[in-house]
Structure 1
């Protein structure tokens, strides 16, 4: 939890759920990912490995298009707790994207692909995940905007927006070059996530 969440009493975004194979959760990363110690689901106690070292996890908050009517004022943000096999999938996705880590504004999508081999009797088989990551700069170049607007930091000076030039008019000289509207450029393609 960051200092402002502590101050304002927020417990963070709801936890992302992966109930069935094929479930995908993802979107723009809205805050700097953090590392925290895992906790036991039943007791809330911190978890440790057999050698005494703490079991850690990465917490990534993403802006999804999900809305749960049982959550008051649900804004669609979800926390993905990255650990175990999911950690490997996310790390591979970051490497494939040419990144060095997850960053605010990047797009992370995680998919529960299937169940792994059941290793212990009485336990559920481990969930297996796939991940896709688009770094922030690439997401911006592809024109992928966050689902919900983020608050912009205050600026000392904001340049005025350039005036729109009608289609068929030379933007430098102002001459009419055509009586017909020019077609809009095609949307970028080829980097669509696999899920």
Structure 2
């Protein structure tokens, strides 16, 4: 069955009276939530949605989860002053997907400034009758340094296109068309000969006639 995640506010949100960023939602397969990580990810204990009590495994160990806040393009008109931040409560298969993405990026973990995108790809197999099948996820992660390298500096103007002057036409040689001259110049075996002939033709054209 589907439950809403209990939200523990960050220290700043608690101090200023806010409840923290809304929980990221994955209503249907192929839904993707992602963006730049805006604050340091934290680890906290999971809580029961009905009672708010902390959850434990059968052996008594606490059930933990990772909380990651990302800056998305989403805006919910029902939320006052929604700035697009969403919190991912990372556990179970989502945790494995994100860990694989971090390893694929050559990183050691999630960091502020990196970008994380999580996609609800499909449903898995329900473990018990009457329960919804578990959501399966894929993830992509880009380290902060890579994001910075690929982000253009807003203070740097785009380079202006350089004007390229048209190539000078090949000097005329009696008996040869311009196309034939260009083909001859492209051949190392005849280029020198054509250059000599062009020089001779140009010199003859500038020599004044005898009186």
What TM-score bracket applies, with the shorter chain setting the length? 0.7 to 0.9
- CA gap of 1:144–1:131, structure 2 versus 1, over 3 A, is farther
Higher relative contact order (CA 8 A, sep 6+): 1
| Per-residue CA distance 1:17-53 (angstroms, 9 max, x = gap) | 0111110000000000000011112222111100011
1:141, CA displacement in angstroms?
A: 1.2
Tell me the TM-score normalised to structure 2 length: 0.69
1:167, CA displacement in angstroms?
A: 2.7
Tell me the TM-score normalised to structure 1 length: 0.74
> In structure 2, the residue corresponding to 1:58 is in which secondary structure?
strand
1:4, CA displacement in angstroms?
A: 2.1
- CA gap of 1:132–1:32, structure 2 versus 1, over 3 A, is same
For the residues of structure 2 that align with 1:120 and 1:2, how far apart are their CA atoms?
35
For the residues of structure 2 that align with 1:66 and 1:85, how far apart are their CA atoms?
24
2:91 alignment partner in structure 1: 83
- Unaligned stretches of 5+ in structure 1? 146-160, 169-176, 181-195
Q: Are 2:175 and 1:167 equivalent residues in the alignment?
A: no
Extract structure 1 runs of 4+ deviating beyond 3 A: 177-180
Which entry has the higher C-alpha Rg, 1 or 2?
Answer: 2
Paired residues, what number? Answer: 156
For the residues of structure 1 that align with 2:27 and 2:152, how far apart are their CA atoms?
27
| Cα RMSD (Å) | 2.1
Counterpart selection for 1:94 from 97, 102, 110? 102
- CA gap of 1:56–1:141, structure 2 versus 1, over 3 A, is same
| Per-residue CA distance 1:136-166 (angstroms, 9 max, x = gap) | 0111112289xxxxxxxxxxxxxxx78x697
- Unaligned stretches of 5+ in structure 2? 1-8, 166-211
